[in-house]
Amino acid sequence: MLHRRVSRYVVCGLAIFVLTGCGGGNGKGESQELVYGLTLAPSGIDPHIHASSELGIPLRSVYDTLVYREPQLLGFVPGLAESWTVSEDGLTYTFVLRQDVTFHDGTPFNAEAVRANVERILDPETASQKAVFMLGPVERVDVLSEHVVALVLSTPYPPLLDSLSQPHLGMASPAALAEYDNATYQFHQVGTGPYRFVEYLPGDRLVLERNPDYAWGPDVVANPGPPAIERITFRFFEDPAARALALESNEVQIMGELLPTDAEDLGEFADIEVTRVAIPGQPLQFMFNAIRPPTDRLAVRQALLLATDRATIIQTVFQGLSPVAEGPLSSPSLGYASSVEDLYPYEPLEAELLLDELELVDSDADGWRDFEGEPIVITIVVPPWGLSPEVAQLLESQWESTLQLQVEVRQVAEYTMLREVATSGEYHLISFNLFGLDPILLNGFYTTTGFNNWMNISDPDLDALLLGAAIENNPTRRNELYARAQERIMERALIVPIREYVNLNGYSADVSGLHFDTQGWFPYLTDLTLRESTQ
């Protein structure tokens, strides 16, 4: 720790201008600048096209959304829409829009702007990777008057308001969308938010500057007007080990996704704060390939679950800073079913018994269980993020020592390669998850035709539960259906859940007002302030 403390003060004099070189902390007379560390350099950052959660960290403040979710009761509050109604059949959402909003380029925000945005997302030529799915069964947009617009659906879709509250469905200037094509708009983005998009150099930096005309912030922020900080530069730190060092050296003032060991060390610094943010959605999980022997057998999947010491993994890899995951949803998610808890405690003896009953035994006394005369080899495929490789290594150690099963861990470099492996089916377990507050994300994984059905399951009962929940407008009934679906997923032992995601954010003690929206990842930059310089 000594070398870190020394480096902090050696470079502080070189970097102090980032915080104080442009002035004080009230934002009224002199300007301020801040550097925010991103942990992934996305291949593209157009929110209507690209799927990365990382892009929402800066773009949540470039774009406003029609509605927002408030953090306590998780209800919806006005955004660009001052009010809205939903038809009794759940097929028409009518929004009355604010009349005092303009885009950064001076274009007025109105119903035609909403139409242009939604139609762009729905257009197949846009090739949207996420936003189009968030719109669900939206069929068309009806402009009813200059400031009244309706979204018309083919079937009910209760998650629509949640989708419309997220930055991937932020409202962009129709003039800018018309001026730039789908390949170039990401470099010239124009919203209505508290910050203007200034510059994007892939792999290097993304720069925002405050919108001095901003006056329509939602109730979820403390500051509805122009931000105090004039300029925010985002830089990319894909190497997890570099993130804490960047904070210590004051190269950045805010950094997310710190390594757990680094988060603990940084807690010893008086001038650095660390905050934990629970992330709703799916936990860090390993999905079984349910059609490839031997994980095509329920008892084998159950044995591997029972032989997983998740508490030790959480302590070893995550320093105890994340809760143990129990099922296909993390507990901060809407519709989380506590009934799945404790279904698979750590019971290695019971796991061995399950394999013995299947006659998967060591038939040639070489120390490994066999299947059809050959040693069983369990192949786990992991991406490089989320400490998945480290978790897989512990699974390898636990399953080999407890169950006498050989385990092969294969790491791929990126999402595209992970999907290629999923398509090939050459794995027994594969690690992937998505984040989101609404349980609708389960449908893409566990329905027979789901885009992420990497378990290769076809379960009519599970399909009925999930598809029924997707169109159920009654919240109580909807939660019941999703709870039964979660129970069914774990009864069939389709995944090994490991830990609920917690984003470890570090920030300079000179920073105040850091808080995030209900999705957990996206900060409200408009509320950030910097302590006034004493020099």
Q: Is the pLDDT of residue 275 over 50?
A: yes
Q: Work out the pLDDT band at 269, boundaries 50, 70, 90.
A: confident
Domain boundaries, the chain: 2-277+504-530, 284-499
Q: Is the pLDDT of residue 1 over 60?
A: no
Instruction: Region of 106 please: left (phi>0), alpha (psi -120 to 50) or beta.
Output: left
| 269-274: average pLDDT | 92
The overall average pLDDT reported for the chain is 93
Whether this prediction's pTM lies above 0.85 is answered by: yes
Q: Is the pLDDT of residue 287 over 70?
A: yes
User: Is residue 14 packed enough to be buried (19+ CB in 10 Å), middle (13-18) or exposed (0-12)?
Assistant: exposed
User: What confidence tens digit (pLDDT) does each residue in 206-258 have?
Assistant: 999 999 999 999 999 999 999 999 999 999 999 999 999 999 999 999 999 99
User: What confidence tens digit (pLDDT) does each residue in 373-390 have?
Assistant: 899 999 999 999 999 999
Q: What is the pLDDT of residue 421?
A: 97
The residues pairing with 512 across neighbouring beta strands, listed in sequence order, are 529
User: What confidence tens digit (pLDDT) does each residue in 300-333 have?
Assistant: 999 999 999 999 999 999 999 999 999 999 999 9
For residues 25 and 32, give the distance between their C-alpha atoms in angstroms, rounded to a whole number.
7
For residues 88 and 156, give the distance between their C-alpha atoms in angstroms, rounded to a whole number.
10
Per CATH, 2-277+504-530 and 284-499 having the same topology is answered no
Secondary structure class of 352 (helix, strand, coil): helix
Q: Quick one: which of 368, 429, 358 has its CA closest to 402? A: 368
Q: What is the pLDDT of residue 72?
A: 87
Q: Is the pLDDT of residue 20 over 90?
A: no
Q: Is the pLDDT of residue 199 over 90?
A: yes
**DSSP per position, 242-265:** HHHHHHHTTS-SEE-S--HHHHHH
Q: What is the pLDDT of residue 268?
A: 82
Q: What is the pLDDT of residue 362?
A: 95
For residues 95 and 82, give the distance between their C-alpha atoms in angstroms, rounded to a whole number.
8
Structure tokens at 334: 């809407």
CATH of domain 2-277+504-530: 3.40.190.10
Q: What is the pLDDT of residue 5?
A: 34
Structure tokens at 41: 């350099």
The single-letter code of the amino acid at 119 is E
Q: Work out the pLDDT band at 42, boundaries 50, 70, 90.
A: confident
Q: What is the pLDDT of residue 498?
A: 98
Q: What is the pLDDT of residue 31?
A: 65
For domain 284-499, the CATH class is alpha beta
User: What confidence tens digit (pLDDT) does each residue in 335-377 have?
Assistant: 999 999 999 999 999 999 999 999 999 999 999 999 988 999 9
Whether the link from the prior residue into 194 is cis, omega within 30° of 0, is no
In the block, tokens 């992991």 appear at 382
Q: How many residues does the chain have?
A: 535
Q: What is the pLDDT of residue 36?
A: 98
For residues 35 and 234, give the distance between their C-alpha atoms in angstroms, rounded to a whole number.
6
User: What confidence tens digit (pLDDT) does each residue in 204-216 have?
Assistant: 999 999 999 999 9
Q: Quick one: which of 143, 17, 20 has its CA closest to 532? A: 20
Which residues 6+ apart lie within 8 Å of 246 measured at CB?
37, 237, 252, 255
For residues 439 and 428, give the distance between their C-alpha atoms in angstroms, rounded to a whole number.
25
Q: Is the pLDDT of residue 81 over 90?
A: yes
